[in-house]
Amino acid sequence: MGAAPAKMASFGLLAEFDNPQALVDAADRARREGFVKMEGYSPFPVEGLREALGQKRTLMPVAIFFGGITGTITGFMLQTLTSGGLPAEWDAWIPFNQWFSYRLNIAGRPFFSWQAFVPPMFELTILFAAFTAVFGMLAINGYPRLNHPLFEVPEFGRASVDRFFLCIESEDKLYDNEKTREFLKNLKPLTISEVPA
């Protein structure tokens, strides 16, 4: 390992506040100052914090929509193919058709009874969309991740209880251990801690 750049010795500086408004105001000041690589931490979602930090809207709804569509198509294909929904004459051309199809004649009803396929298609739409919503959200957020530099700071234990934190990360171009600490001091936080890398 080569010597890491001096400024990478820490993850960043963490300022602690006791109410959400102070955090929003601090984040807003930091953004105006030009900081980009920063993050706010709170025990519950704080309105306006994302805008104050200059973060973009999430594309989760688009992902969830496509997850749902995938479910619909899966449900349709699953039932159509296995019920012998494709004509038997196609078997020569589409080999998988005969591998899957299970042509049951139920009171002379058509093999391709799409109306009866709607309920499972609907359920699979919901199921796939829900999987995307939960597992997609966790994956994009980088969870599960049980270790994190922030957990080394004792004060951060209250981030899930009643304290609000602003962390300016050392990866930020404007980051300078001394100057950034001075800047954070002006925001009048309760504490400022250096987060070890």
Residues between 52 and 111 with contacts to another protein, criterion CB under 8 A: 52-53, 55, 57-58, 60-61, 64, 68, 78-79, 82-83, 99-100, 102, 104, 106, 109
The binding track of 115-134 with respect to another protein, each residue x by CB under 8 A or -, is -xx-xx-xxx-xx-xxx-xx
Contact flag: residue 44 with another protein (CB under 8 A): yes
Both structure tokens of 46:
């704080």
> What's the closest the beta carbon of residue 56 comes to another protein, in angstroms?
9
Which parts of 5-34 interact with another protein (CB under 8 A)? 18-22, 24-25, 27-29
Applying CB under 8 A, which of residues 48, 73, 172, 194 lies at the interface with another protein? 48
Give, as one character, the DSSP assignment of residue 88: G
Whether the upstream peptide bond of residue 61 has omega within 30° of 0, thus cis, is: no
Taking Cα atoms as reference points, which of 196, 137, 145, 138 lies closest to residue 167? 196
Shortest separation between residue 42's beta carbon and another protein, angstroms? 6
Q: Structure tokens of 49?
A: 């914090």
Least distance between another protein and beta carbon 93 (Å)? 20
Please identify which residue in 2, 145, 173, 178 interacts with another protein, judged by CB under 8 A.
145
Looking up tokens 């012998």, which residue turns up? Answer: 84
Question: What is the dihedral sign for C-alpha 183, 152, 164, 166?
Answer: positive
Q: Which stretch binds another protein (CB under 8 A): 4-12, 86-94, 146-154, 180-188?
A: 146-154
**Choice between 58 and 191, CB closer to another protein:** 58
Strand partners, 195: 12
Q: Using an 8 Å Cβ cutoff, are 182 and 45 in contact?
A: no
Residue 43: CB atoms within 10 A of its CB come to 13
Looking at residue 34, its amino acid is G
Q: Is 137 near another protein (CB under 8 A)?
A: yes
